[in-house]
Amino acid sequence: MHAALPRLLLTPGEPAGIGPELAVRLAHTDMAADLVACADPDLLRRAATRLGLPLHLSDADDQALGARARGRLRVLPVALAQPETPGHLDVRNAAYVLETLARASDACRAGHYAALVTGPVHKGIINDAGIPFTGHTEFFAARAAADVLMLLAGPHLRIALATTHLPLAAVPAAITPERLRRVLGVLWRGLQRDFGMPAPRIAVLGLNPHAGENGHLGREEIDIIIPTLDALRGAGMHLLGPLPADTAFAPAARARLRCGTGHVPRSGAAGAQGRSIRHRRQYHPGLALRTHLGRPRHRAGHRRPQSRRGQQPAQRRAHGAATVRAPCAGRMSGAARPKKHIGQHFLHDRDIIERIVAAVAPQPGDALLEIGPGEGVLTLPLLRAVGALTAIELDLDLLEPLRARAAEVGTLRLLHADVLKVDLGMLAPARPLRIVGNLPYYISSPILFHCLAYATHIRDMHFMLQQEVVERMAAAPGGKDYGRLSVMLQLACTVEPLLQVSAGAFRPPPRVESAVVRLTPLAREALPQVAPAALEQVVRAAFGQRRKTLGNALRGVLDADAIRVCGIDPRLRAERLAPADFVRLAQQSVAVRAASVL
């Protein structure tokens, strides 16, 4: 008898990319593994046809295989929303990609597979669909409610990353003693447990050029890294460094390290793409999910670059929060000129400023984060109240003037970054964030959903938005303002409109009225008990053609009988349903898909 083959689960990733064809080619190798693809079977058949290769598909089950013939592949089916066109991304298939990852993650965590191999995805198209997504690592971490450490692994070198998927401008603020202790602890235990190294030797790279050159090129090594390493050495860890990153990989430097030792660099790029490690037994390769995850190199997702003709030039240039405010009240000599292409309008009304600060009610010890501080019209009074504040600003011209104004007020940690690319969880290591922002109106919804993706790290949010948007956020069922934004936000947080702001409060005046709103994330136990991707799919489909009945709008997701099972009349339109009704529909869609697999 043949021994049972190890079961490998494969997610091909972006359906318009190379992943489906790679899955077919993998099925035609002699790999000694029971290969199971979590994908649309017809997608795989079309890929095989394009390659001119035969492909025999069968449903995945729990029966172990002792041998596998070439060209055979078992399938855990997930249905595409729309047939793919190779090389052309389709936003309608974004939820499908995440559904394959969710199904695969759950199956691996349940112990049905020995490892998960992920094909390349396209982060941009997923975010264009309104679904916050920074990568496989963060997705699986959230799915498993686990902490993450990514490891790039080669035959003779392993490199652990202290931060992942952060803009370079945000990295220094993310290098904290707490983060280094966590990263090095996970790495140390993982190398011992999973790589058979009883006393691993770990070289830690510096953040700054030449490891700071004794503080002349940056003080992070002196103030943060060295004291943290000294404390961990006292606990028994064998640590070298901080070493200059520009010479750490030279042969002479590497000779001091045993093969297979880990390195903790400052940020996300080093060497060959490899595997990741998870804390609490939820990991990518080697150290901790008890599910190994193999990943390809980045930027391999599709054949041709996506056209972004649908975006305005300002959207292509300036994702993130770049709203600017005038300092305290009125116009000052030397004040920055508002930049129209990134939606800047300077708030100058002293009464509105004071009312916003009073609504936030900052207290000493609060972990305040401001999105788009501009010239500091809100930054300075908030900073006076709490003593320390973090701010994210996209406009480079505003950074140094704001630092100068804040120097005598308190400690301002200013990040030059696109907020949509910042891991907000990294900014809340000890206390939940209180977020304040005057958001650029043209990109306010993506910023809102980005913040909600980190709701477990957030205490509350106070945002200045277009009044029409605030009305939609707080709208009740049955009105013309009630829609996708209303449902998704009200299922994640309480929405409290606070005050209206006239156009004359800004310089230059915008063409719309504005309003301030408070968002308070719901407690974990009050959140919808349904996969976010399934909920997003149902809500988007229901309101995508809001004049149609549910029976017609949800065709392809739920039929009329399935809608009735939820106690909902399929002849109703989406605007008549309460947010909780959409949760029931999403739960039913998950149940229908699960039943179709059996």
Domain ranges of the chain: 1-146+289-307, 313-526, 532-597
Residue tagged 């008990």 (tokens): 529
218 dihedral zone (left: phi>0; alpha: psi -120 to 50; beta): left
Distance CA 534, CA 403 (A): 44
Distance CA 216, CA 346 (A): 37
User: Which has the closest alpha carbon to 58: 30, 27, 81, 32?
Assistant: 27
Q: Do domains 1-146+289-307 and 313-526 have the same CATH topology?
A: no
* Two tokens, residue 408: 């005598």
Q: Where are the beta strands (DSSP E) in 445-526?
A: 458-466, 493-501, 506-507, 514-521
Provide the residue-wise pLDDT of the chain in tens; the chain has 598 residues.
456 788 899 999 999 999 999 999 999 998 888 899 999 999 999 999 999 999 999 988 767 777 788 899 999 999 999 999 999 999 999 999 999 999 999 998 888 988 899 999 999 999 889 898 888 888 888 888 777 788 887 767 788 888 887 788 888 988 999 999 989 988 888 888 877 788 888 989 999 988 887 788 888 999 899 999 989 988 888 888 888 887 777 665 655 554 333 333 333 333 222 333 333 333 344 344 434 555 544 444 454 434 333 333 333 333 333 222 233 333 333 456 667 666 677 788 888 999 999 999 999 999 999 999 988 899 999 999 999 999 998 888 888 889 999 998 999 999 988 899 898 988 877 789 999 999 888 788 899 989 998 998 999 999 999 999 999 999 999 988 999 999 999 999 999 999 999 988 887 788 889 999 999 999 988 888 888 889 999 999 999 888 899 999 998 899 999 999 999 999 999 999 999 999 999 999 999 888 876 5
Distance CA 19, CA 25 (A): 10
In order, the DSSP letters of 339-363 are: -GGGT--EE--HHHHHHHHHHH---
* Two tokens, residue 444: 């306010």
Residue 261 burial class via C-beta count within 10 angstroms: exposed 0-12, middle 13-18, buried 19 and up: buried
Do 273 and 198 contact (CB within 8 A), yes or no? no
User: Which has the closest alpha carbon to 488: 466, 464, 472?
Assistant: 472
pLDDT of res. 288: 40
Neighbouring CB atoms inside 10 A of 165's CB total: 17
Distance CA 536, CA 539 (A): 5
pLDDT of res. 320: 32
* Two tokens, residue 345: 């309008």
Sign of the alpha-carbon torsion through 148, 177, 243, 173? positive
- CATH number attached to the domain at 532-597: 1.10.8.100
- CATH number attached to the domain at 1-146+289-307: 3.40.718.10
pLDDT of res. 597: 62
CATH 3.40.50.300 fits 313-526, yes or no: no
Distance CA 57, CA 20 (A): 13
Task: Determine the longest span between alpha carbons in the chain, in angstroms.
Answer: 86
Distance CA 529, CA 535 (A): 10
